[in-house]
A and B are shown apart, each in its own frame.
Chain A
Amino acid sequence: MATIELEGLEKRFGEVEVLKGVSLTVGDGEIAALLGPSGCGKSTTLFILAGLYQPSGGVVRFDGASMSGVHPKDRNVGLVFQSYALYPHMTVRENIGFPLLLQKVAKAEIARRVAEVAELAGLSELLDRKPSQLSGGQQQRVAAARAIVKRPRLLLMDEPLSNLDLELRARMRREIKRVQRETKITTIIVTHDQEEAMSLADRIYVMQGGQVQQGGDHRALYERPANRFVAGFIGMPTMNFADELAVVDGWLTSGGRRLFEVAPGGELAGRDLADAVLGVRPEHVAVGGEGGVAAQVVDLIPEGREMVVGLALDGGIEMRSIVPSTLELAIGQAVRVSIDEAYIHLFDRSSGAALHHGGHSRAVPDPARRP
């Protein structure tokens, strides 16, 4: 149980700068996720936390104490690899007990704690097997058990759920949350899967290009993304973006084509939009009714309860909307599409920084209730 702080962390491998100043804080007992595409530096951050890499700049602090020069074995950190990295020549029992063996804990005590953790992880029946005799899910639980048996003050997990099939994933998600709540170990998870991040973590740090783009709970990231990258990364299906904006005859246009009517005296009316990019989430692109602009249905992707509709507005602008599956649509069909100005976001064209956030409602709009 520790508070983890990273201040201005930098890491260079030869010529390549992988981390360019990462700063974040994870409170005692919290679960944080480092979320980002591959190559953004999240795994590197993890290994620096474990002490396996030395930072080129910046500081790592556990409970206020700098970890510079501290050997991994002295940091009391548990690390679970994506590939689990179980010791193939040891049984499950020996794998889990290994950290305790190294700490020279008494044999009886080791046996007790291994049994305790195995119980927690649902591995009691498998203690005498070898890793090669276990399924993927079981191996992962062994790796996790080994990481927590020494009661670490920090637990690190690298892509914990990516190697599991869907059903197992949902189950493991619940398991991890449950175990963490019981043990209250500060946990940092690295993942490229936002669903994983959002379901597991209290705080999410979105990383890209070796830096933290934004940190916050999933609501903050979703409703008030700090920049265009976060806006486009968080949320499935992704946010729609439109460029080359201008207000013409009371309509907002993108590349000359009409998108929606602009309220006089509203947010957009007074702005200079030449350097702005518009963002609007699919659930705020309403299909049906009579207002808005003319559009054509280009694509339909059913997703169970909902359906993603690919649209071409005013003859050209590509947008996606998300509607209940009960809506009857066909490819090529002509529909009316309305976007409410209240829900749009604006981003700076060159820096990507957010300029304006619209209000938010998560509900998928019901076309029958058009204003």
Chain B
Amino acid sequence: MKGEQLKGERGARATIIVGLLLLSLPLIASYAWLLLASFGDGHELTWGIFPTDYTIKHWRFLWDPHGAGGDLPSIWRATGNTLFVALSITLLDVFIATNAGYVFSRWHFRGRGPLLAFTMVLHAFPSVTLLVALFIVLLHMGLLGSLWGIVLVKVALQAPFSIFVMKGFFDGVPWESEMTALTDGCTRLGAYRRVILPQILPGIAAISIFSFLEGWKEFLFVFAFVFDKDKWTLSVYLQSILSRGSVVDYGIMAAVAVFYMLPVILFFVFTQKYLMKVQLGGVKG
């Protein structure tokens, strides 16, 4: 469809782009401001988002363990916690969802239909309702205040969605692939491991990215269940700065925020390339 540019179309396309730009302007402006404000000195802004003076004093926390102010621990501690949570959630989620998704896609066992429906209905159970109950459950398991508790809870709550997505990917692998593997000499599990899994790597990649980002952003559970400042993740860390005092110091908040968001930005840049490759590589054969 590329070369067929009719005159009217080019005009229409330009209009659409301008329209999208206008629609997205608040978003663009906000993110731009965030970056700029982390280096901004004082409260003056020109053109709505550009500070008049610049400084790096807000970024003190990178080398000064008390740079974030108050009684907060070093930001690196919080970063380590966040990384631990995000990675653990990703690995566990991929492991669980892939295996379960395969079973739902390829095996017809009694109760499969209802189980599938049940999984979907589970999504209706809001995490907020389970907050109190989880508190009690984690308390009795000795996991309250521990980051592992957060990981297990997050994976459990995310499981229905992840399983559904992975099932979708498995559904896309032709039956013949598996049939061939069986006649070639695989057991069903062997076929799963050697033949089917390699074909859904894009699905695994998708779930991994999603899980990692979800884990990295997690706020509520840490807020509710973790009390030791040393175990805080960056989300609660930042929130405590946000809710501190009446003086609004956007500078430090923005700096910590940008620092927190760095992996997300990086992820975006890298998955862009991957996504492009998946599109161009083609799905033949």
Chain A contacts to B: CB under 8 angstroms? 47, 50-52, 71-73, 75, 77-79, 81, 83, 85-89, 98-99, 102-103, 130-134, 139, 146-147, 150
Residue among B184, B198, B285 facing the most chain A CB atoms (10 A cut-off):
B184
Closest to B281 in A: A132
Distance A85 CA – B178 CA, assembled complex (angstroms): 9
- CB-based contact B185/A81 at 8 Å: no
- CB-based contact A81/B180 at 8 Å: yes
Q: Distance in Å from the Cβ of B181 to the closest Cβ of chain A?
A: 8
- CB-based contact A83/B176 at 8 Å: yes
The 25 sampled A-B contact pairs (Cβ below 8 Å) are: A47-B179, A52-B182, A52-B183, A71-B182, A72-B182, A73-B184, A73-B185, A73-B186, A77-B183, A81-B179, A85-B180, A87-B180, A88-B199, A89-B198, A89-B199, A98-B181, A98-B184, A99-B184, A102-B185, A102-B190, A103-B185, A132-B284, A133-B285, A146-B180, A150-B185
Interface string of B162-186 (1 = CB under 8 A from A): 0000000000001011011111111
Within 8 Å CB of A102, what residues of B? 184-186, 190
Distance A131 CA – B284 CA, assembled complex (angstroms): 8
Residue among B174, B199, B201, B284 facing the most chain A CB atoms (10 A cut-off):
B284
Q: Distance in Å from the Cβ of A101 to the closest Cβ of chain B?
A: 8
Given the known inter-chain contacts A83-B176, A85-B177, A86-B285, please indicate yes or no for A71 contacting B187, CB distance below 8 A: yes
- CB-based contact B282/A73 at 8 Å: no
- CB-based contact B285/A73 at 8 Å: no
B62 an interface residue at 8 Å Cβ cutoff? no
- CB-based contact A73/B183 at 8 Å: yes
B134 an interface residue at 8 Å Cβ cutoff? no
B195 an interface residue at 8 Å Cβ cutoff? yes
Q: Distance in Å from the Cβ of A306 to the closest Cβ of chain B?
A: 39
Distance A77 CA – B180 CA, assembled complex (angstroms): 10
Given the known inter-chain contacts A89-B198, A131-B285, please indicate yes or no for A79 contacting B183, CB distance below 8 A: yes
Q: Distance in Å from the Cβ of B192 to the closest Cβ of chain A?
A: 13
Query: Of A71, A79, A133, A146, which one neighbours B179 at CB under 8 angstroms?
Result: A79
Residue among A71, A134, A139 facing the most chain B CB atoms (10 A cut-off):
A71
Chain B contacts to A: CB under 8 angstroms? 174, 176-177, 179-187, 190, 195, 198-199, 201, 282, 284-285
Within 8 Å CB of A79, what residues of B? 179-180, 183
Given the known inter-chain contacts A132-B285, A139-B285, please indicate yes or no for A72 contacting B183, CB distance below 8 A: yes
Within 8 Å CB of A72, what residues of B? 182-183
Closest to B282 in A: A132
Distance A71 CA – B181 CA, assembled complex (angstroms): 12
Within 8 Å CB of B183, what residues of A? 50-52, 72-73, 75, 77-79, 147
Given contacts A73-B187, A99-B184, A133-B285, list 9 more A-B pairs with CB under 8 A: A79-B183, A81-B176, A81-B179, A83-B176, A87-B198, A98-B184, A102-B184, A102-B185, A131-B285
Q: Distance in Å from the Cβ of A89 to the closest Cβ of chain B?
A: 4
Query: Of B179, B187, B199, B284, which one neighbours A52 at CB under 8 angstroms?
Result: B179
Given the known inter-chain contacts A73-B187, A85-B174, A146-B184, please indicate yes or no for A134 contacting B285, CB distance below 8 A: yes
Closest to B184 in A: A99
Within 8 Å CB of A47, what residues of B? 179
Within 8 Å CB of A87, what residues of B? 177, 180-181, 195, 198-199
Within 8 Å CB of B190, what residues of A? 102
Closest to B173 in A: A88
Within 8 Å CB of A78, what residues of B? 183
Distance A192 CA – B174 CA, assembled complex (angstroms): 23
Within 8 Å CB of A133, what residues of B? 285
- CB-based contact B184/A83 at 8 Å: no
Q: Top 10 closest A-B pairs, CB basis?
A: A132-B285, A102-B185, A131-B285, A85-B176, A89-B198, A99-B184, A72-B182, A79-B183, A73-B185, A85-B180
Residue among B195, B198, B201, B285 facing the most chain A CB atoms (10 A cut-off):
B285
- CB-based contact A99/B185 at 8 Å: yes
Within 8 Å CB of B174, what residues of A? 83, 85
Distance A72 CA – B181 CA, assembled complex (angstroms): 9
- CB-based contact A73/B182 at 8 Å: yes
- CB-based contact A130/B184 at 8 Å: no
Within 8 Å CB of B182, what residues of A? 50-52, 71-73
Within 8 Å CB of A89, what residues of B? 198-199, 201
Within 8 Å CB of B185, what residues of A? 73, 99, 102-103, 150
Within 8 Å CB of B186, what residues of A? 73, 102
Within 8 Å CB of B181, what residues of A? 87, 98
